[in-house]
Structure 1
């Protein structure tokens, strides 16, 4: 099968495009003929070796966790799907395998693609939408009627966080983004938008029940004065310097620091699918690359200026 892979950790230059064997299917997995995948920061952070304690030293490695495509084969214990079904899902971070013509994924985290999504739109959903949902609902304990601020509101995670916060009943949603993305963030449902190139939300007098930093650009220590009593600060990848002191201070404060590690929960993705079908939530695509240009796509992701998701098209290159 065609695939993008690497045989050692390093810069984007270690990525290769070529032929690899199809994945060996386990009893509880489905083999998906991948039509589209997405590029996430975790892909290039893993490639750089920053997740080596988790990813190990087994090569070759195929990047990517988000897939959308058609079921090609099913394991003997699979009961929910048949060959030909349109599906999407998030492969475990420690496994990867999305940048390829075929990918194996557990049945329990595989979900039918909503009828109102194309393959490229479906590939834009799993990791970032699951991160936003679990950050707001589980870690942030967002309640109806609360005020929430989302930093990095035009990022892959931020775009879903704006929409999911609204579905969960937030009374007021403030998004933080650059000038170029203000209108996009407003169109997704943000009540207020702060352009970080012109003002710093941490200098505002506004206070929030929940601050979610979708791009890990702030710290609990810097943001806690913007939280109301019993407020929560949630971040995706906390600053190491912030972790120890921040957690220690939050233990003795009613303002809590939480971190999010996304879980590949099938039930959560089914809930997101329901919201998409009801047109309450939608993916936003920034740019599309063919599979063979995955290195270029990762460079674009690393630059940090995408508004929405970066997609790799495997079929129809």
Structure 2
């Protein structure tokens, strides 16, 4: 099968197209024909070994010293079941899901995943590209919001509301009945307002801590604001959550089921900035590296 492999740590140029052996599913696993995936920050940080100081050593020990032990990156997939060594799915089922930990493996034509893992039927009315774009941001936003047990009517500020996690957090917050304010670059105001926010802050020209508004929850969806600063705009007992700390998102099948339900109900929509072919994966990485994508960058693996 064709796949994109990471030959060593470095810039997008280290990514190469290669013919590799197709995975063989074990008992209890599915072989999924991957139709679409996405390039997200988990992929670009792994490729570039993009972590601070001593964390680079830890990352090498976990992922591989000179290059990733799993050279095929990609943590999300949408496609069809090619083989099912389980009674939970059948050949031809349209599924979407995530590979956890250091498994990766989604930037190729096939991936083997556990049937009882983070995989579920796709939303019925979604394209493969739309389904793939829902996963990284949607599961991350849900995972972090679940940590603070939000209640309907509370005020939520999403800092970095135009990225993959931010666009999902804005919509999920609204679906949960929260009063959502989105903070992003003014160039993305139309996009963020279109996702259903109650208010918008251009964080390049306006300081959210000086608006005279207090929030129940501040969600830093890009890792670019601090807890000490957020406290200035939090209500007493309010919660600050960030993708930039030590806490990590934990994906689950129940999250996929909830995302599917919201998409089918029209409460959550796919936000896709650009679509690239598998052969153009290095270009997709270069674009994500710029840090200005709106929503998701999707890979169309097969037609």
**Aligned equivalents of 2:22, 2:235: Cα separation in 1:** 52
TM-score (norm 2): 0.93
The answer to whether residue 67 in structure 2 is matched with residue 80 in structure 1 is no
The answer to whether residue 27 in structure 2 is matched with residue 27 in structure 1 is yes
Contact residue 174 and residue 191 of structure 1 kept, 8 A: yes
Match of 1:185 in 2: 192
Match of 1:313 in 2: 300
Contact residue 46 and residue 52 of structure 1 kept, 8 A: no
1:38-77 to structure 2, matched below 5 A, reads: 38-49=38-49, 50=51, 51-57=59-65, 59=69, 61-75=71-85
Match of 1:202 in 2: 209
Match of 1:214 in 2: 221
Deviation at 1:128, TM superposition (A): 1.1
**Helix, strand or coil: the match of 1:125?**
helix
Match of 1:241 in 2: none
The answer to whether residue 108 in structure 2 is matched with residue 100 in structure 1 is yes
The answer to whether residue 268 in structure 2 is matched with residue 281 in structure 1 is yes
Deviation at 1:55, TM superposition (A): 2.1
**Aligned equivalents of 2:143, 2:171: Cα separation in 1:** 13
Farther off after superposition, 198-207 or 275-284 = 198-207
Q: Which deviations, in whole Å up to 9, do the C-alpha atoms of 1:27-78 show, x marking residues without a partner?
A: 2221110110011101011112343343234535111111000101122xx2
**Helix, strand or coil: the match of 2:225?**
coil
Match of 1:2 in 2: 2
Deviation at 1:224, TM superposition (A): 0.9
Distance 1:53 1:204, change over 3 A: farther
**Aligned equivalents of 1:59, 1:260: Cα separation in 2:** 24
- Residue from 116, 133, 139 that aligns with 2:142: 133
Match of 1:157 in 2: 165
* Aligned positions, number: 292
Runs of at least 5 residues in structure 2 that lack an aligned partner in the other structure:
52-58
**Helix, strand or coil: the match of 1:262?**
coil
TM-score (norm 1): 0.89
Deviation at 1:141, TM superposition (A): 1.9
1:287-302 to structure 2, matched below 5 A, reads: 287-302=274-289
- Residue from 270, 274, 288 that aligns with 2:257: 270
Contact residue 284 and residue 309 of structure 1 kept, 8 A: yes
Deviation at 1:90, TM superposition (A): 0.7
Deviation at 1:15, TM superposition (A): 0.8
Q: Which deviations, in whole Å up to 9, do the C-alpha atoms of 1:142-196 show, x marking residues without a partner?
A: 11111010001010011110111011111x2100011121011111110000011
